[in-house]
Amino acid sequence: MKNLLRPYEALFNFISLNRVKNKDIDLTAIHIHLLTVLSTSVLMWLYTAIAIIYMTNPIPGLIGVVCSLVHLLSPLTFRWSKNIFLASTIALLPGIIHQTSFSCFSGGFMSSALIWYGVFPIHAGLTCGKKAVLIWSIIVTIVALCLLGMEVNGYPFQDMLLPQGNLFTHSISIFGLIFAGSIILYFYAALTNSHSKEIQEHHNKINLLTRILMHDMSNSIQALRGSASLLLKDKDTNKNQQRQSEIINKHSLFLSDTTRSIKALFLVDSVNDKLKLEKVDLNESLRFIFNILENKINQKQLVINLSFNNACFILAAPHVLENQVIHNILLNAIQYSFESGQIDIEVHEVNNTSLIELVVRDYGTGMEPEILKNIFNPKELNAIKKITKTPGSGAGMFILKDIVERMQGSVSVQSTKDIGTIVTVRFLKAT
């Protein structure tokens, strides 16, 4: 098999030499074009041979030689151009001319050679995409309609094929279609699978590198934040040092929030469509995150009002619930609350449903209507960041919504500028 592939590899390397150097085209497209041309060229030369040997008129044979040669040489276009559509046109147009001329001298619209009109759009689509399918479908349809119109209006198409030629033509139409279709689709599937594997391997390498970087950066950022906090608390620090410490603290906070959001995005990408849900005490999870955020709450001198039922068990993935949902909601409430402000947290059952509702309300800066409208839209992250000018990636609420929905819950946000924000999350009640 390797010996058979060597001539093909040598030909491909010759054709794609400049494209490989310039890196200006997907090499898969060249492979598909070359394989398609090689398989269909065999059939075009067979039709040419039949025209020369078994037709009483030499014109179809001469047209067949010229068209088959141009068709066969079309891959050489890639030596000078990266235009896939141009190469495809140079291959397909001679094919249409060849089949049309052959048909006109072998019965016109009734010729079996016209069945190959159905192959041209497929060839175009495999190499150039859906626009090429549409273009070449229109072209071959127009040509076929012209032949049909001539047939209907009594144009005297002559069948100049000898009886043995008719047999060979019919055989090529049947077995050639099987051969060409099988070869093209087989190699197309093989190339697509190989390309997909390469992309997946590359994706996995990037993911691994990003995870390592995020882990190492997180450690360094936490060290920076700790040092900056100590300097800010040090009474012996002069004003210039205080100012520099504030800058360090601000930007390290930005980096910390960004790395946390990136980690969360990786989490969302790595889990299955449905998380493994289990019975979780929502109140206990809230207390756990409160302990983690206690220093931030004390720094802003916030008052936290809690309203819990004795026990509220929900269906959730515990680690994801605590570290991505509850942590994100409470951290936002703390971050956007005013100094010495208040945060109300309530957990209760929703009447006449099997739902548990978590409501977190702050009385802080609130949000503009434009931000609120797009808060769950990942496409608007850059626009939101420009308006808010706050640290972090801005992806927190989008990630939160995605995770909550995977836990078969829902999340909604109400907010008014300079009045505050209410985040409501509903979970399935565990039985």
For residue range 259-297, what is the model confidence (pLDDT) as tens digits? 666 666 666 555 544 568 899 999 999 988 888 888 889
Gap between the Cα atoms of 199 and 114, Å rounded? 40
To 10 degrees, what angle do helices 130-152 and 119-128 make?
A: 160
Strand partners, 412: 424
- Residue 114 is classified by DSSP as G
CA-angle at 122, arms to 121 and 128, nearest 5°:
80
State pLDDT tens for residues 88-106.
Answer: 999 999 999 999 999 999 9
| pLDDT at position 392 | 44
pLDDT tens column, 33-68: 888 898 889 889 999 999 999 999 999 999 999 999
14 has pLDDT over 80:
yes
Q: How does the average pLDDT of the chain come out, rounded? A: 83
Are the C-beta atoms of residues 379 and 399 closer than 8 Å to each other?
no
The rounded percent of the chain whose pLDDT value lies above 90 is: 36
CA distance 23 to 147: 43
Q: Which CATH superfamily is domain 274-428 in?
A: Histidine kinase-like ATPase, C-terminal domain (3.30.565.10)
Listed range (140-144, 228-232, 412-416, 422-426) with the worst mean pLDDT: 228-232
DSSP assignment of 180-239 equals HHHHHHHHHHHHHHHHHHHHHHHHHHHHHHHHHHHHHHHHHHHHHHHHHHHHHH-TT--H
Amino acid symbol at 300: K
Token pair of 343, please?
Answer: 């945060």
Confidence band for 83, pLDDT divided at 50, 70 and 90:
very high
CA distances from 147 to 10, 82, 134, 416 (A): 42, 35, 20, 70
Average pLDDT over residues 130-137: 92
256 or 71: which leads in pLDDT: 71
What pLDDT shows up at residue 419? Answer: 93
Query: Can you give the pLDDT at residue 386?
Result: 45
* Cα–Cα dist 425/371, whole Å: 19
**Burial (CB count within 10 angstroms: exposed 0-12, middle 13-18, buried 19+), residue 230:** exposed
Cα–Cα distance for residue pair 160/107, rounded to 1 Å: 8
Q: Distance between CA atoms of 342 and 360, rounded to whole angstroms?
A: 11
Higher pLDDT, residue 390 or 260? 260
Q: What is the pLDDT of residue 215?
A: 59
What pTM was estimated for this model as a whole? 0.54
Question: What's the pLDDT tens digit per position in 170-186?
Answer: 888 888 778 777 877 77
Tokens of 404: 């909550």
**Residue 370's pLDDT band (boundaries 50, 70, 90)?**
confident
Whole-number pLDDT of residue 29:
85
User: Between residues 251 and 91, which one has the greater pLDDT?
Assistant: 91
Cα angle for residues 382, 391, 268 (degrees, 5° grid) = 70
Residue 391 has pLDDT above 50, yes or no: no
**By CB neighbour count within 10 A (0-12 exposed, 13-18 middle, 19+ buried), where does 147 fall?**
buried
Range(s) within the chain of domains with CATH label 3.30.565.10: 274-428
Name residue 205's amino acid.
Answer: K
